[in-house]
Structure 1
Amino acid sequence: MGAGTGTYSGEVSPLARIDASYTPRFAEFAFEPGFTAAVDQHVAHLRERLAVTCPDLVPHAPDREALSDYALGFLDALAESGWREPVGHDYAVCRLTAISWLVRRHDLA
């Protein structure tokens, strides 16, 4: 396994997989204000869950390993439940898009 990535040598990290799959959804922010607001709330929740709170105006980057571990667990739970990506936006799409946003914002892929 790769150090802190939860992947075997040669496998794509969960953050890179999520980033590749959900970054294209950023284009929807321009015409889906509800989706934008939901993703923003998911980003805030992830920052809180991963203890990325600070008194600064600009939040610090989440720990790459912690976000990767969270993402891997989330993907595993989705796979176990038989989740399939819908056309619209459900909880999982919003959460995965939020993870992708954090990866892009902080160059974590």
Structure 2
Amino acid sequence: MVFEDGWAVSPLRWLMDTLGEAQLARMGSDPGLVAAIDQHAAALRDAIPLDRETLGDYLLGFLDELRHRGWTYTGEPDAASLRLTAVCWLTRELGLLEDGHPA
């Protein structure tokens, strides 16, 4: 995962474009992935309000920590990629990008 320009301006849109669409498509054929994403989504539901601003702020902090640790996306499910996919799933399920505004 490369942090290109604009990721901090519109983190939810950037994540959906960079990782989300492919990971969400994988969920259709991988029940284990669905279960793991559901657990991460539940943890997020319990931790923060699930509105566009709060989820975007959470994502910025999470991405910042991943950058600090030198994490890279390998395509294999690890805790970080599962959490990022859960953010994508929640973004889609809650319609947080439907109005076309950056988020």
TM-score, normalization: structure 2? 0.79
Q: 1:66 aligns with which of 46, 54, 71?
A: 54
Segments of 4+ moved more than 2 angstroms: none
Q: CA deviation at 1:30?
A: 2.5
CA RMSD of superposed structures (Å) = 1.7
2:72 corresponds to 1:90: no
Equivalent runs, 1:1-109 vs 2, <5 Å: 12-21=9-18, 22-51=20-49, 62-109=50-97
CA–CA distance in structure 2, aligned partners of residues 87 and 24 of structure 1? 10
TM-score, normalization: structure 1? 0.75
Identity, % of aligned pairs? 43
Q: Letter of the aligned partner of 1:36 in structure 2?
A: V
SS, match of residue 83 in structure 1: coil
CA–CA distance in structure 1, aligned partners of residues 30 and 17 of structure 2? 20
Q: Letter of the aligned partner of 2:16 in structure 1?
A: D
CA–CA distance in structure 1, aligned partners of residues 88 and 28 of structure 2? 17
Q: CA deviation at 1:20?
A: 1.3
Gaps of 5+ in 2: 1-5, 98-103
The size of the alignment, in residue pairs, is 90
